[in-house]
């Protein structure tokens, strides 16, 4: 395979569902043998490369997954290690969803493993839908076996009509929605200013780097202090100016509570004339009642109006391991409460995959929606603009609550990882 490919697309599924035909549709040529047959036409893994909408794309066609699961999984692992961005397509035929198809999708999900966020359900024979939309087809039988499987993909699905005409528009739509083909932003695309808040180790700095597309912030995957001050960095992202403000993680023992408070408050000044979003960064595999306090923190520090600008960013999306984000939210009362407080505004990042800009576009798009809901305005506070207003005055009002919050966080970290060394928070 050409290692210079901009994208590697891996087709998975049962025999006879249209994997080879889909590969031909993507590449716009007859690269794979494709014909109707009761037996598998593809006997071994085959890779073909072509130029699609100006991108060098390699398509990996695989045999029917039954009896080949271990071989395919091993080869996919090799592709992930040796190539750039990968997109997995689990191919399903628009038809009556049988137990055999269900088992094939489940086998494909096992092959994909922690790359599920980089995968789509691809339905073939879309002409069989008639006037029905794909969403209507998916919801036709709410209690059927297709619904829970589709939920694992959290809305990531697409439909192909594979024929000799090779409609390129359906390929373009797939690449755009998966984040591998940029929708050109209008020249006057408005800037975005984003403030990241969260506990140590949640992935704030890594998420900031992911958003900006380069290593702007120092990032480490542990609970130890990385940043002790609020830092603002900017870059052109998808044709617009994006500013990310990274704040110190709450409970970092190198800062006194008052110093930490002042650093967080400075995030508004460093995103002048004001942020479009306060993003609460939460690690998917470590969510407790304390995350609810982060929403309360925004209201305490920046006022009730600030709550209209808050959304949740779940990091380490690879840790979902086949579970849909909606399942995770509904299974955890603390998460359910946090997401509900943020008016269902949330997004998921897998920060281990820097080549996938789709998750960044999705975040920026959701912030745009939030901004429009707020009348097109960014957050602003007359209180903070007032030169006569003293942050120390506000500190006196909330200091006991803030200190208590930091103490709770410190105790949580000790109970979660007793072997880790956590600095004591100096209450000064």
C-alpha span between 109 and 114 (Å, rounded): 9
Instruction: Give this prediction's pTM.
Output: 0.65
3-state secondary structure 415-427: HHCCCCCCCCCCC
Please tell me the predicted confidence (pLDDT) of residue 420.
37
Please tell me the predicted confidence (pLDDT) of residue 367.
92
Residue 15's Cα: distance from chain center in Å? 31
Provide the pLDDT confidence category of residue 275 given band limits of 50, 70 and 90. Answer: very high
Contact 358, 178 (CB under 8 A): yes
Burial of 247 (C-beta count, 10 Å sphere; 0-12/13-18/19+): buried
C-alpha span between 146 and 194 (Å, rounded): 37
Provide CB contacts within 8 A for 2, sequence distance 6+: 49, 56, 58
**Domain regions of the chain by residue span:** 7-177, 192-416
Read off the pLDDT of residues 359-383 as tens digits, 9 standing for 90 and up: 888 899 889 889 988 888 999 876 5
C-alpha span between 351 and 370 (Å, rounded): 23
Provide CB contacts within 8 A for 62, sequence distance 6+: 10, 11, 12, 19, 42, 45, 68, 72, 75
Provide the pLDDT confidence category of residue 419 given band limits of 50, 70 and 90. Answer: very low
What would the DSSP string read from start to end of 219-260?
Answer: --SSSS---SS-EEEEEEETTEEEEEEEPPPTT-TTS-HHHH
Return mean pLDDT, the chain. 82
C-alpha span between 329 and 152 (Å, rounded): 13
Read off the pLDDT of residues 285-325 as tens digits, 9 standing for 90 and up: 777 777 778 888 898 888 888 989 999 999 988 777 767 78
Contact 124, 17 (CB under 8 A): yes
**SS3 breakdown of the chain: % helix, strand, coil, rounded to 5?**
40, 15, 40
Q: What angle do CA 375, 344, 346 make, to 5 degrees?
A: 95
| 7-177 and 192-416, same CATH topology | yes
Contact 87, 10 (CB under 8 A): yes
C-alpha span between 284 and 115 (Å, rounded): 15
Provide the pLDDT confidence category of residue 333 given band limits of 50, 70 and 90. Answer: confident
Read off the pLDDT of residues 68-110 as tens digits, 9 standing for 90 and up: 888 888 888 887 777 778 899 999 998 877 888 889 999 999 8
Read off the pLDDT of residues 36-77 as tens digits, 9 standing for 90 and up: 544 455 568 899 999 999 889 999 999 888 878 888 888 888
pLDDT at 143 over 90: no
CATH code linked to domain 192-416: 3.40.50.300
Contact 292, 341 (CB under 8 A): yes
pLDDT at 418 over 50: no
What would the DSSP string read from start to end of 350-379?
Answer: -TT--S--HHHHHHHHHHHHHHHHTTT---
Among 126, 130, 71, 117, residue whose Cα is nearest residue 93: 126
H or E segment and range at residue 10:
strand 7-12
Does domain 7-177 sit in CATH 3.40.50.300? yes
Among 71, 74, 55, residue whose Cα is nearest residue 63: 71
C-alpha span between 280 and 204 (Å, rounded): 9
DSSP state of 196: E
Backbone torsions φ then ψ of 192, nearest 5 degrees: -130, 140
């Amino acid at each position: 395979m050409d290692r210079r490919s901009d994208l590697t697309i891996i087709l998975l599924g049962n025999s006879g569902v249209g994997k080879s035909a889909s590969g031909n549709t993507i590449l716009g040529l007859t690269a794979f043998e494709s014909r109707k047959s009761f037996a598998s036409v593809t006997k071994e893994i085959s890779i073909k490369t072509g130029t699609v909408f100006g991108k060098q794309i390699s398509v990996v066609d695989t045999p029917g997954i039954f009896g080949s699961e271990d071989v395919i999984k091993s080869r996919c692992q090799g592709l992930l290690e040796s190539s750039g961005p990968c997109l997995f397509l689990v191919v399903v035929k628009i038809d009556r969803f049988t137990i055999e198809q269900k088992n094939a999708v489940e086998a494909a999900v096992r092959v994909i493993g922690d790359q599920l966020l980089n995968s789509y359900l691809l339905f073939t024979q879309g002409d069989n839908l008639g006037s029905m939309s794909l969403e209507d087809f998916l919801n036709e039988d709410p209690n059927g076996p297709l619904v829970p499987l589709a939920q694992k993909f959290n809305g990531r699905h697409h439909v192909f009509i594979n024929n000799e005409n090779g409609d390129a528009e359906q390929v373009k739509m797939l690449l755009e929605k998966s984040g591998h083909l940029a929708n050109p932003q209008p020249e006057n695309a408005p800037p975005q200013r984003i403030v990241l808040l969260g506990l140590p180790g949640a992935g704030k700095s890594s998420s900031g780097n992911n958003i900006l597309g380069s290593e702007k912030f120092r990032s480490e995957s542990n609970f130890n202090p990385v940043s002790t001050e609020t830092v603002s960095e900017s870059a052109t992202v998808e044709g617009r100016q994006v500013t990310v403000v990274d704040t110190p993680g709450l409970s970092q023992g190198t800062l006194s509570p008052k110093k930490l408070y002042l650093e967080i408050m400075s995030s508004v000044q460093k995103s002048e004339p004001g942020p479009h979003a306060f993003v609460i960064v939460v690690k998917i595999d470590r969510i407790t009642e304390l995350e609810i306090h982060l929403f309360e923190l925004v209201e305490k520090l920046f006022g009730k109006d600030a709550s209209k600008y808050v959304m949740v960013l779940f990091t380490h999306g690879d840790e979902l391991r086949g579970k849909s984000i909606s399942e995770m939210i509904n299974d955890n009362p603390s998460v359910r409460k946090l997401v509900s407080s943020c008016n269902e505004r949330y997004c998921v990042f897998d920060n281990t995959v820097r080549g996938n800009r789709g998750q960044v576009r999705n975040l920026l798009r959701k912030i745009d929606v939030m901004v429009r809901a707020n009348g097109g305005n960014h957050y602003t506070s007359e209180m903070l603009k007032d030169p006569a207003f003293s942050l120390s005055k506000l500190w006196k009002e909330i200091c006991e609550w803030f200190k208590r919050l930091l103490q709770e966080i410190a105790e949580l970290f000790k109970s979660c990882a007793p072997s880790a060394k956590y600095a004591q928070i100096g209450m000064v």
